Amino acid sequence: MIVQWYPGHMQKAKREILELNKYVDLYLILLDARAPLSSRNEQLESLIKDKPKIFLLNKADLADEKKNNQFLKYFESINQRALCVDCLKGTNVKNIFKIAENLLKDRIEEARQKGRRKIIRFGVLGIPNVGKSTLINKITNSSKAKTGDKPGVTKSKQWIKINDYFEMLDTPGILVPKLEDDMVAIKLCAIGSIKDELYDKELVAKKTIEIIKKDYCELLNKKYSLDFLNMSEDEYLIEIGKKRGCVLKEGKIDTLKAANLFLEDLRKAKIGRITLDEIRDR
């Protein structure tokens, strides 16, 4: 198994979601657009049962634009509302409220007829480091929710008032208890959803190159001036290390440093806009 990570606060968060589910009108489920299927936690979704949901494909600016559209059509095909967003820049964030009001229009109208104003309470869910707190901060134009560039920053629930009509609940990122599918684990490690110290970076870097070279070999070749198509898995980091000057004193290539450089390039889209998942993965 590539990684197994299930901190105690995540088990606690599952209990809290069950307790607070009755107060939530609609859930925003954040996915990483670079791996929308791998970053989806259907076990978590089972906790919220039949509550309305909007799937937000965050970091869409880092993902393959063509595949972004394919995934939007995929969610439409399974009768789920989905939206590509960039929570950091705020791209498409305002459209969340329009969709939410449409999904809950009957309850809003029922409250209006009774002379009351319906306050829509969002639950914000997703795996670690997918951008939940960043979304809340963008919507509220503040730093009410803690953020960080490492997974696991949010450790407890926070109810946050947006305005007179909307409130949001931020929760810790929850992974499934066991990442039994190694390919899923590799993808989540590659995009930064799992703490770096909990997996073998060299292994993840090599396996990730294997995944992306099928569709993005030209981007890899251009970025590193190498012919990845005709290279073996054992050669990837050695050749990247040579190109990037990752040489130890004794002349040996520092493949760990090369792996770190590659993962940084991937996460910051320095190689290009790349999506690791495909629809047929399901």
Give Cα 44 to chain centroid, integer Å: 14
Which token pair is 16?
């809290």
Query: Is 59 known to sit in a ligand binding site?
Result: yes
Which residues have CB under 8 Å from 142's CB, separation 6+? none
Query: Is 69 known to sit in a ligand binding site?
Result: no
Question: Residue 154's closest CA among 167, 143, 145, 142?
Answer: 145
Query: Is 130 known to sit in a ligand binding site?
Result: yes
Q: Where are the strands (E) in the chain, listed by range?
A: 26-32, 53-58, 81-84, 120-126, 158-161, 166-170
Q: Is 260 helix (H, G, I), strand (E, B) or coil?
A: helix
Q: What secondary structure does DSSP assign to 34-53, as a single string?
A: TSTTTT--HHHHTTSTT--E
Query: Is 132 known to sit in a ligand binding site?
Result: yes
Query: Is 61 known to sit in a ligand binding site?
Result: yes
Which token pair is 14?
């599952």
Query: Is 50 known to sit in a ligand binding site?
Result: no
The sign of the torsion formed by the CA atoms of 160, 100, 58, 125 equals positive
Which token pair is 161?
């008032």
Sequence letter at residue 255: T
Query: Is 251 known to sit in a ligand binding site?
Result: no
Query: Is 131 known to sit in a ligand binding site?
Result: yes
Can you tell me the distance from the alpha carbon of 125 to that of 44, in angstroms, rounded to the nearest whole number?
Answer: 8
What is the DSSP pairing of strand 120-126 with strand 26-32?
parallel
Query: Is 154 known to sit in a ligand binding site?
Result: no
Which token pair is 224?
């590193």
Q: Is 183 helix (H, G, I), strand (E, B) or coil?
A: helix
Q: Which residues are annotated as a binding site?
A: 58-61, 129-134, 173
Q: Which residues are annotated as a binding site for GTP?
A: 58-61, 129-134, 173
